[in-house]
Amino acid sequence: MNFTFQSKTKTFMGSKCIFNNKNEFLKLGKKALIVTGKSSGLKSGALIDVKKILSDNGIVYEIFDSIENNPSIENINDGKTIVKIFSPNFIIGIGGGSPLDAAKAIAVLATNDIEPIDLFDNVFLNKPLPVVAIPTTAGTGSEVTQYVILTRHDLKNKKSFGNEFTFPVIAFLDYNYTKSLNSELTIFTAMDAFSHSVEGYLGNRSTVICDFIALEAMKIFGECLQSLQNAVFNDVIREKLLYMSYLAGLVIIHTGTTSVHSIGYSLTYFKNIQHGQANGILLPEYLKINYEYATEKINKILVATGICSLDNFSTIIGKLLPTNVSLSKEEIELYASIAVEQRSISVNPRPLNKEDIKLILSKSLND
């Protein structure tokens, strides 16, 4: 049995965990840049809590609250300007995957004299500033991963970077900060986390310990499935969803994702389908096309989630993620051409070609 496992992020989970561990901020310095979106940090209550802790501890802070959904390198460049002027000791990312990823990118730019486009070289002369990650959604797992995913308008796609130095140093997981999410976004982000666990489990880079964690995440998804279908979320369910997202993040640290993410990026970029929704829409056909190559594992996914069959899974997804989006032949051709060039296609359980990807797209959105 051979495997490597690492998690470089010190994680605190629980209600009011940032107040119970406020001394962690003091260890990082006396100046902080808070990176967040236009509303998520404020609506969740996380921004108010963080500001109080920083003020009470004499930590000077500046707020950059202009992070876009699916932030672009142009958006990150705005953050670079601010971080260079303010010169903080550390960065606090508050929000969903977009602000957390942006915080990691800005942390690299703060200590390296490079342009945002150079981030994708993934080689940095200087270590990034420390990042504290506070998620307000339960989906991306970005609070514990090294990955930074940014929109590249020049490529009409998303592209990622990340290495051993881009992990957040601390993550605070408080389900209270997810309670401001509406039911739709709660479902979408849950599907993103579930997709991470499924792709990590089925991908060719899976390991025995990652498989164990992924199955636990999928079991939690199954426990939350009725609530997701009813769109009713109490504190227990919200904490379970946040824990599932965390576990799935631990999985993809080591495994990355597979074709679901590669294909889904175009649905987000061109059709404005939310990332987690795009992943979820593609999952039924993804499992079906890979079934012959990963039969035992896919059967274990069904058992873990309490879903009786792949057809039943398709029905559940159809009800959870209804969409009226359909694709033209030209769009399918374009999206498949973009996806087939992505690295993650190569770790898919079944080797996929362009025609396979076109079939997944067609069956997922046009059938």
Say what the pLDDT of residue 6 is: 75
Closest CA to 83 of 97, 60, 62, 66: 62
Would you say 205 and 182 are in contact if contact means Cβ atoms under 8 Å apart?
Answer: no
Domain residue extents for the chain? 10-178, 183-365
User: Residue 5: what pLDDT?
Assistant: 74
Residues facing 149 on adjacent strands: 160
Domain spanning 10-178 has what CATH number?
A: 3.40.50.1970
pLDDT of residue 159: 93
Percent with pLDDT over 90 in the chain:
96
| Cα(40)–Cα(63) distance, integer angstroms | 13
Q: With bands split at pLDDT 50, 70 and 90, how would you rate the model's confidence at 367?
A: confident
CB 67, CB 99: distance < 8 Å: yes
Class level of CATH domain 183-365: mainly alpha
DSSP assignment of 181-214: S-HHHHHHHHHHHHHHHHHHHHSTT--HHHHHHH
Determine contact, residues 161/104, Cβ cutoff 8 Å: no
| Residue 340 Cα distances to 279, 343, 362, angstroms | 16, 8, 15
Quick: pLDDT tens for 104-130.
999 999 999 999 999 999 999 999 999
- Mapped onto helix, strand or coil, the DSSP state of residue 69 is coil
Dihedral angle sign, alpha carbons of residues 166, 130, 178, 234: positive
Residue range 36-48, pLDDT digits in tens: 999 889 999 999 9
pLDDT at 7: 84
Rounded to the nearest integer, the mean pLDDT of the chain is: 96
Give the C-alpha separation, 359 to 367, whole Å. 10
Per-residue pLDDT at 155: 92
Residue 275 pLDDT exceeds 80? yes
Instruction: Kindly tell me if the per-residue pLDDT of 83 is higher than 90.
Output: yes
Residue 1 pLDDT exceeds 70:
no
pLDDT at 133 over 70: yes
Query: How long, in residues, is the chain?
Result: 367
Helix (H) or strand (E) holding 25: helix 23-26
